[in-house]
Amino acid sequence: MAPLLLLLLYSLVSAAFLYTVFTILKRRRGRLPPGPKPWPIVGNLPHMGTMPHQNLAALSKVYGPLMHLRLGFVDVVVAASASVATQFLKVHDANFSSRPPNSGAKHVAYNYQDLVFAPYGPRWRMLRKISSVHLFSGKALDDYKHVRQEEVGVLVGALADAKTNAVNLAQLLNVCTVNALGRVMLGQRVFGDAGDPKADDFKSMVVELMVLAGEFNVGDFIPALEWLDLQGITAKMKNLHKRFDAFLTTILEEHKAKIRQGGTKGKHTDLLSTLILLQQQEEGVGDGGDGGGKLTDTEIKALLLNMFTAGTDTSSSTVEWVIAELIRHPKIMARLRQELDSVVGQDRLVMDTDLPHLTYFQAVIKETFRLHPSTPLSLPRMASESCEINGYNIPKGSTLLVNVWAIARDPKAWSDPLEFRPERFLPGGERANADVRGNDFEVIPFGAGRRICAGMSLGLRTVQLLAATLIHAFDWELADGLKPEKLNMDEAFGLTLQRAVPLSVHPRPRLGRHVY
C-alpha cells in the first residue's frame, strides 16, 4: 500500500510542477484565443461536462466562435462557426492533418494503425487509397448497389412481419447496415436475421466503443496521472479491444483459409480478399511508391474495425433520427410520401436510381444531417506547426475540435436553427444549393479537408436508400400510444450522436402485399 501512495504522491507533485512550468511558458506564446479560465492542473476539463458538444456551444456564445481551452496540459482550440472552421479545414488544412495522441487510438484502434487515427503520411495515404479505390469509388458503389437493395429488402420483410409488435428500430437498422457492409467487405452476411443475439452483442460493442471514444480521458491530458486510469476508461478500452480483435481475427483467418483452399478463386470481389491479395504481392501497395509499404494483418484488422464501426452505427443512427423527426412532423411526412408515390409508385420499393429524382427527400436528409450530425464534435486534429488564425496564435501541438453540431445551429448562419425545416434546402430557400460533402462549411456532417470521412459517399447512399424505403413502405406509430409531440428527442453523447431513448415503433405496411 505504501508504494502505491508514494507513486500517487509523486504523480501529483509531477503534475503540479508541470502545471507551473506550463503556466510560465503559456505567457510567452503570444495572444491565444479567448476562453474560460482554467482550473489548476485539470484545466477546463470540468467545463466539458457529460455533453461536450452542447457545453462547448454554450461557451462559444460567451467567448466567441474561436476558443482556447486547456485540458490538463494540452492546448485545445475549438471552432464553432463556418468561417472559423474554413480557416482550419481549408486554409490551414495541411497543418491540421494529423491526429493528437489519445488512448482510444492506442488501446482500441491497434495503436494508430487504422485509417481513422493513423498519422498523416505515407501509411495513411496507402490505407486511404485502398479504401477509396476498392470500397468507396463510384464504380464500387454501383457494383454493390444490388447488395444494399437486397439487405434493405430483408429489413422491409422483417418489419412487415412484425404485425402488432413494436420494434426497436435501431437494432434492426444496425443488422441491416452491418450485413450490407459485411457482404461488400467479406462476401457474406455477418449476422442472421433480426433477433440474432450476436447482432445485439455487436451493436452493444459498437455503442460502447463510440461512448468510450467520446469520453475526455484525464490520462490523455495529464500524462502523470495516466497510469492511475482514474475513470476506468483505459481498462474498458483494453477489454473492448480484446472482444473486437477476437471477432476480426476469426474473420481474417477464415477468409485466408478459404483463399488457400481455392474457395474464393476467380471471384475476389470482396474487400477482404482484395486486401489479402495486396498483402501477398511482392511489391508494396503504397501511394505511387512513396514508402507506403505492404499491408500487415494488424492494418487489415484495423481497417475492418473502422468500416464495421464508423460505417454502420453512423448510418443506422442517422436513419433513426430521420424517422423520429418525421413522426414529429406529419405534414412533412405527408409531403414526402406524395413525392415518393409520384416518383416510385406503390407497386415496388425504392431503388438507388430513384434517389436523384427525390428533391424534397434530399432536403429532408440534409436537414437531418444539419440537426443531428452523426459526429457532433469532429474527430480531433493536431497543429503540426504554430500558425495564426483570425489574429490569434495557435501553438504547435494544439488539439483542434470542430463543433459541427454548434455550427449547424448557429443563428448567424441559419434562420430558426432549432426548427426542423427541410424547405431551407429547396430552390428559393436560405441554403438551396448547400452541399453536405464538405464544400459548404455551414453544414459539414462528414467533416472537411484531407481528413474528411473516407466513407462519406457510401454513408450517404446507405442513409438515403434506407430512409426513403422506410418512409415509402410503412406508416409509423409510436409504441404504447405515445403522442408524437411527447417523443423524447434527447441525445446521448459519444463519438457518434445516438438517441438517448431508442425509437420504439409499430411499422404499418402501406403498399401492396406483393411488394413485401
**Collapsing DSSP states into helix, strand and coil, what is residue 39?**
strand
Query: What pLDDT was estimated at residue 263?
Result: 60
Question: Which of the four pLDDT bands, split at 50, 70 and 90, describes residue 432?
Answer: very high
What structural domains and CATH numbers belong to the chain? 122-515 (1.10.630.10)
The predicted model gives 2-17 an average pLDDT of 47
pLDDT in tens, 464-482: 999 999 999 999 999 999 9
Closest among 252, 249, 245, 299 to 273, alpha carbons compared = 252
Query: What pLDDT was estimated at residue 294?
Result: 81
Residue 360 and residue 94: Cα distance in Å, rounded? 36
Q: What is the dihedral of CA 6, 10, 13, 16, to 10 degrees?
A: -130
**DSSP characters over 348-367:** S---GGGGGG-HHHHHHHHH
Question: Which of the four pLDDT bands, split at 50, 70 and 90, describes residue 292?
Answer: low
Tell me 36's DSSP state: P
- Choose from 130-144, 258-272, 288-302, 374-388 the range with maximum mean pLDDT: 374-388
Question: Which of the four pLDDT bands, split at 50, 70 and 90, describes residue 24?
Answer: very low
Annotated binding site: 453
**Collapsing DSSP states into helix, strand and coil, what is residue 255?**
helix
| More confidently predicted of 55 and 495 | 55
Residue 321 and residue 337: Cα distance in Å, rounded? 17
Give the burial class of 27: count Cβ atoms within 10 A of its Cβ; 0-12 exposed, 13-18 middle, 19 or more buried: exposed
pLDDT in tens, 129-166: 999 998 899 998 999 999 999 999 999 999 999 877 89
**DSSP characters over 354-403:** GGGG-HHHHHHHHHHHHHS-SSSBPPPEE-SS-EEETTEEE-TT-EEEEB
pLDDT in tens, 445-468: 999 999 999 999 999 999 999 999
Is pLDDT above 60 for 318? yes
Is pLDDT above 60 for 119? yes
Question: Which of the four pLDDT bands, split at 50, 70 and 90, describes residue 28?
Answer: very low
Closest among 211, 174, 200 to 500, alpha carbons compared = 211
Closest among 198, 197, 178, 203 to 188, alpha carbons compared = 178
The predicted model gives 358-366 an average pLDDT of 98
Question: Which of the four pLDDT bands, split at 50, 70 and 90, describes residue 264?
Answer: low
Give the three cell numbers for residue 340: 415518393
Residue 338 and residue 515: Cα distance in Å, rounded? 18
**Collapsing DSSP states into helix, strand and coil, what is residue 451?**
coil
Query: What pLDDT was estimated at residue 8?
Result: 46
**Collapsing DSSP states into helix, strand and coil, what is residue 71?**
strand
Is pLDDT above 70 for 15? no
Average pLDDT, the chain: 89
Residue 75 and residue 33: Cα distance in Å, rounded? 11
Annotated binding site for heme: 453
pLDDT in tens, 184-198: 888 888 887 656 677
Give the three cell numbers for residue 101: 495522441
**Collapsing DSSP states into helix, strand and coil, what is residue 476?**
strand
The predicted model gives 499-514 an average pLDDT of 95
Question: Which of the four pLDDT bands, split at 50, 70 and 90, describes residue 19?
Answer: low
Query: What pLDDT was estimated at residue 5?
Result: 45
| More confidently predicted of 49 and 260 | 49
Is pLDDT above 50 for 489? yes
Q: Helical H runs in 135-217?
A: 138-143, 145-160, 169-186, 197-214
Is pLDDT above 90 for 505? yes
Query: What pLDDT was estimated at residue 266?
Result: 47
| More confidently predicted of 163 and 119 | 119
Backbone dihedral angles phi then psi of residue 505, each to the nearest 5 degrees: -140, 160
Question: Which of the four pLDDT bands, split at 50, 70 and 90, describes residue 9?
Answer: very low
Query: What pLDDT was estimated at residue 200?
Result: 77
Question: Which of the four pLDDT bands, split at 50, 70 and 90, describes residue 278?
Answer: confident
What percent of the chain stands above pLDDT 90? 73
